C-alpha cells in the first residue's frame, strides 16, 4: 500500500489525462503538472502545481506519468529541450517514468533503454476505457516493464483503473494496447454494419440493439457505441484521429512481422473515410458515418 503524500508528476491533461491526474490528487498525493493547454480548474483548485516544462515536473516528482497523443509527442516530452530526461539528470537516479500514452512499441523499447541508462525505471502503461473509464477510475491498464518497478507503482495505477495487468517487458504494454485497438475497431465496424442493415431493412435500430444486448452478440461496444450511433452523440470520448493512429501502428507492426491483418486494414480504411468526410475529431463510434455514406442510409434520422 502506498501512503498519501508522494511527489507525483503528470504531463498531458487532455480528455483522458485530466481525470486520471485528478484521481491521484484526490488520494492525497502532491501533484506537479505540465500541459500544452490550460490546467483544469478541478486540478488547479485542488492543489496541483503547474510546472512550465516537463523538466520541471521530473525534477520535482519521484514518479512521472505521461499521457499525450502520439509517439513523437512522447519523444518530445522525454528527450526534447527541457524534457523529462533533463529533469532526471538534474535530480538523480531512482525515479519512475510511466507512459500511459498509446504509441509505437518499438519506439517504446528505445525510450525505456534511454531512461534506464539514467538510473531510472520506465514503464509503458497504455489504458483502455475512454473518457468514461478515465472519469470513473475503471480503466484497463496494460503494463510493460520490470516487475519490481510495476509493483512499486501498482497502487497508483489502481487509483485510475480496475484491471491493472503487467503484460511483460518494456513495450509489451503497447503491444497489448495495439491488440486492444484492433478488437475495438472491428467491433465498432460490426455494430455499425448491423445497425445500418437493420435500419435499412425497416426495423427499429434501437429495439434491434436492445434485443441483441440479451444474446451472444452483446458487448460493451454494442451497449455504449451502439447507443451513440442511434442517438447521434458523437462528441469525442476517443477520437477517430487517434484510433487511426493506433490502427496504423498495428499495420506497420504487421508489415514488420510479415503478418496479414486484413480486417484491421479494412477498419483503418473506414476510419480514413470518416476523416475524409470531416469527422476526424468525432468519437470513434462515428465510424458508422462512413458505412451510412456507402449505404446511402442513416442508422437513425
So which residues are the catalytic ones?
Answer: 177
Write out the H or E segment, with its range, that includes residue 91: helix 84-91
Give the integer Cα–Cα distance in Å for 269 and 201: 25
Residue 50 · residue 34 · CB < 8 Å? yes
Residue 185 · residue 264 · CB < 8 Å? yes
Handedness of CA 97, 101, 105, 108 (dihedral sign): negative
* Pick from 214, 211, 209, 213: nearest CA to 199: 209
274 three-class SS: helix
Half-sphere exposure of 111 (CA within 13 A, CB side): 33
Q: Which residues does 107 contact at the CB level (< 8 Å), separation at least 6?
A: 71, 74, 75
Q: What's the DSSP call for residue 14?
A: S
Residue 198 · residue 175 · CB < 8 Å? no
Residue 102 · residue 246 · CB < 8 Å? yes
Handedness of CA 67, 69, 71, 74 (dihedral sign): negative
Residue 64 · residue 98 · CB < 8 Å? yes
Residue 173 · residue 123 · CB < 8 Å? yes
Residue 144 · residue 193 · CB < 8 Å? no
Amino acid at each position: 500500500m502506498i501512503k498519501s503524500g508522494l511527489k507525483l508528476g503528470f504531463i498531458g491533461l487532455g480528455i483522458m489525462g485530466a481525470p486520471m491526474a485528478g484521481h491521484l490528487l484526490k488520494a492525497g498525493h502532491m501533484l506537479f503538472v505540465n500541459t500544452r493547454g490550460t490546467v483544469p480548474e478541478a486540478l488547479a483548485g485542488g492543489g496541483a502545481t503547474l510546472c512550465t516544462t516537463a523538466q520541471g515536473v521530473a525534477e520535482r516528482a519521484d514518479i512521472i506519468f505521461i499521457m499525450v497523443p502520439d509517439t513523437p509527442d512522447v519523444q518530445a516530452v522525454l528527450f526534447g529541450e527541457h524534457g523529462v530526461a533533463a529533469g532526471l539528470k538534474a535530480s538523480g537516479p531512482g525515479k519512475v517514468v510511466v507512459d500511459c500514452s498509446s504509441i509505437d512499441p518499438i519506439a517504446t523499447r528505445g525510450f525505456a533503454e534511454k531512461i534506464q541508462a539514467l538510473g531510472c525505471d520506465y514503464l509503458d502503461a497504455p489504458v483502455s476505457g475512454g473518457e468514461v473509464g478515465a472519469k470513473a477510475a475503471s480503466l484497463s491498464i496494460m503494463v510493460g516493464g520490470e516487475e519490481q518497478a510495476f509493483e512499486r507503482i501498482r497502487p497508483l495505477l489502481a487509483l485510475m483503473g480496475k484491471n491493472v495487468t503487467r503484460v511483460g517487458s518494456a513495450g509489451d504494454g503497447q503491444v497489448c494496447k495495439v491488440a486492444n485497438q484492433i478488437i475495438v475497431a472491428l467491433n465498432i465496424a460490426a455494430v455499425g454494419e448491423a445497425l445500418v442493415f437493420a435500419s435499412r431493412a425497416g426495423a427499429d435500430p434501437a429495439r434491434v440493439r436492445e434485443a441483441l444486448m440479451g444474446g451472444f452478440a452483446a458487448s460493451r461496444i454494442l451497449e455504449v457505441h451502439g447507443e451513440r450511433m442511434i442517438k447521434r452523440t458523437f462528441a469525442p470520448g476517443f477520437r477517430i484521429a487517434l484510433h487511426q493512429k493506433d490502427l496504423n501502428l498495428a499495420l506497420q507492426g504487421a508489415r514488420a512481422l510479415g503478418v496479414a491483418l486484413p480486417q484491421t486494414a479494412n477498419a483503418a480504411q473506414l476510419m480514413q473515410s470518416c476523416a475524409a468526410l470531416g469527422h476526424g475529431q468525432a468519437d470513434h463510434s462515428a465510424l458508422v458515418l462512413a458505412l451510412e455514406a456507402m449505404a446511402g442510409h442513416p442508422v437513425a434520422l
